[in-house]
């Protein structure tokens, strides 16, 4: 597996191992990008920028369509790599990859028209969207391929060139995709380098990079923002979430519990916009918890390549240990582990899905983002109180409200302080809909027209008449 620098595969001068989280076996080793190799990647992106930014928009659109076709043509190979490094079931790995192709195809439909904001007998004023230059993109380990596509596709469509770094836990499918796309993408337009936190720091501090796009933790976002401030780089940060779901008293308990469970435990809970805490009306709380416990007990954990696996492992040891720590803290904070929360004997970072009740709003499991298969369920009797408690968080990525009356749920969802709100749904992400975090959940937007504009700078053109 090689890095992609200036259109060519680069093995690098050093390497690191990538582990299968379901077996703890080493899958392979990949290059550990050095400072000199990063300089070469950034230099290639700089050299490619003038020609690429001058390439007609329609040609850039066609390139993205061709990239989607290449991805789909190599679906099985990429899916197997994704399972081996990330741990998710094969069917869901293929879903991520097909979603990546859909993101490429949708992005290819977007335009950057010139906006006329005044045109009269005195003056014509136009607003143009111009590319920024070299974009640095840093992607996470939970959805590595679709996160990468969600950054490089709009960045390239806008006329930028890209240096992209996948997570050191999940670089394989992204590096292989880069090898495949190298046949179609002009040299230097997309560069993919692999490495750990030190490489991330080098990217954020590199003076030739004019825009940084990160999906990661709040701590990582703070670090990127601080580094970017030195050169006043533009930033887009999609950071952590502590999404609340408020379940009103009139729902069908069995149906809504199933949907809440799915939206909380998808990808073993390792989703930024997954449900992280549930507020359930006191009149249905106990019945609702019973349904969640039954669903958790029936969940099938295992290696993602096994046909009957529904949920894979935690992706990496640091996160595995953190989730176990939060489970222990929930016990110490007076919570009741209604089911799950246990290590699974044998290899792999497996934890049985846990439902926790009896916690206060001050408990760590309620305050912090768990990013794993543990869900706290909290009682409420007054909906205004539930909304206030849901909003009492430093994070504000997503939230949802659930009711048999959609208008009633919408009235609650509209009061949640978050970038995305859902009515009788959660975790429904489409490429047209921007994701934008509030508070510590991020800065800027990804996806849709707003996400494309985030990779551009505004230029106002004023032409006097007469």
Give catalytic residues, as residue numbers: 238, 272
d(CA 348, CA 439): 35
Cβ–Cβ < 8 Å for 373, 311:
yes
In this structure, what are the phi and psi dihedrals at residue 160, rounded to the nearest 5 degrees?
A: -85, 165
User: The tokens of 188 are what?
Assistant: 């230097």
List of E strands, 6-87: 8-10, 15-19, 26-31
Q: 285 to each of 219, 353, 377, how far by Cα in Å?
A: 34, 19, 8
CA nearest to 138, candidates 121, 150, 126: 150
Phi-psi region of 340 (alpha: psi -120 to 50; beta: other; left: phi over 0): left
Cβ–Cβ < 8 Å for 19, 310:
no
Give the H/E segment covering residue 326: helix 317-332
Cβ–Cβ < 8 Å for 131, 160:
yes
- Total Cβ atoms within 10 A of residue 2: 18
Helix axes 144-157, 172-181, angle to 10 degrees: 40
Cβ–Cβ < 8 Å for 215, 139:
yes
Cβ–Cβ < 8 Å for 398, 244:
no
């Amino acid at each position: 597996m090689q890095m992609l620098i200036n259109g060519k595969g680069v093995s690098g001068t050093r390497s690191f191992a990538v582990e299968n989280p379901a077996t703890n076996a080493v899958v392979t080793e990949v290059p550990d990008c050095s400072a000199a190799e990063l300089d070469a990647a950034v230099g290639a992106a700089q050299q490619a920028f003038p020609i690429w930014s001058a390439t007609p928009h329609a040609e850039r659109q066609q390139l993205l369509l061709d990239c989607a076709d290449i991805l789909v043509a190599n679906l099985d190979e990429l899916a197997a790599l994704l399972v081996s490094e990330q741990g998710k079931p094969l069917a869901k790995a293929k879903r991520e990859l097909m979603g990546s192709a859909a993101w490429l195809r949708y992005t290819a439909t977007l335009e950057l028209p010139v906006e006329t904001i005044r045109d009269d007998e005195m003056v014509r004023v136009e607003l143009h969207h111009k590319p920024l230059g070299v974009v640095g993109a840093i992607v996470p380990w939970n959805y590595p391929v679709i996160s990468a596509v969600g950054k490089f596709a709009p960045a390239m469509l806008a006329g930028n060139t890209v240096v992209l770094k996948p997570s050191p836990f999940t670089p394989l499918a992204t590096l292989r995709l880069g090898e495949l796309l190298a046949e179609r993408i002009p040299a230097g337009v997309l560069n993919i380098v692999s490495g750990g936190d030190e490489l991330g720091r080098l990217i954020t501090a590199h003076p030739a990079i004019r825009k940084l796009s990160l999906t990661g933790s709040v701590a990582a976002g703070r670090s990127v923002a601080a580094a970017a401030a030195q050169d006043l780089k533009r930033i887009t940060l999609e950071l952590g979430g502590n999404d609340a779901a408020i379940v009103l008293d009139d729902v069908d308990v069995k149906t809504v519990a199933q949907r809440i469970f799915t939206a909380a435990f998808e990808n073993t809970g390792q989703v930024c916009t997954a449900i992280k805490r549930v507020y359930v009306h006191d009149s249905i709380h106990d019945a609702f918890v019973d349904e969640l416990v039954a669903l958790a007990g029936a969940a099938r954990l295992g290696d993602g390549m096994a046909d009957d696996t529904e949920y894979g492992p935690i992706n990496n040891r640091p996160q595995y240990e953190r989730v176990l720590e939060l489970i222990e803290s929930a016990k110490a904070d007076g919570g009741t582990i209604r089911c799950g929360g246990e290590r699974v004997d044998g290899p792999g970072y497996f934890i049985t899905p846990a439902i926790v009740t009896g916690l206060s709003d001050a408990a760590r499991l309620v305050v912090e983002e768990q990013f794993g298969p543990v869900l706290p369920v909290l009682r409420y009797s007054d909906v205004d109180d539930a909304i206030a408690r849901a909003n009492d968080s430093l994070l504000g990525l997503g939230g949802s409200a659930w009711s048999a009356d959609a208008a009633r749920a919408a009235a609650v969802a509209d009061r949640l302080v978050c970038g995305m709100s859902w009515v009788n749904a959660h975790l429904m992400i489409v490429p047209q809909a921007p994701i934008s975090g509030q508070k510590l959940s991020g800065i800027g937007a990804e996806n849709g027209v707003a996400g494309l504009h985030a990779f551009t700078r505004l230029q106002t053109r004023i032409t006097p008449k007469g």
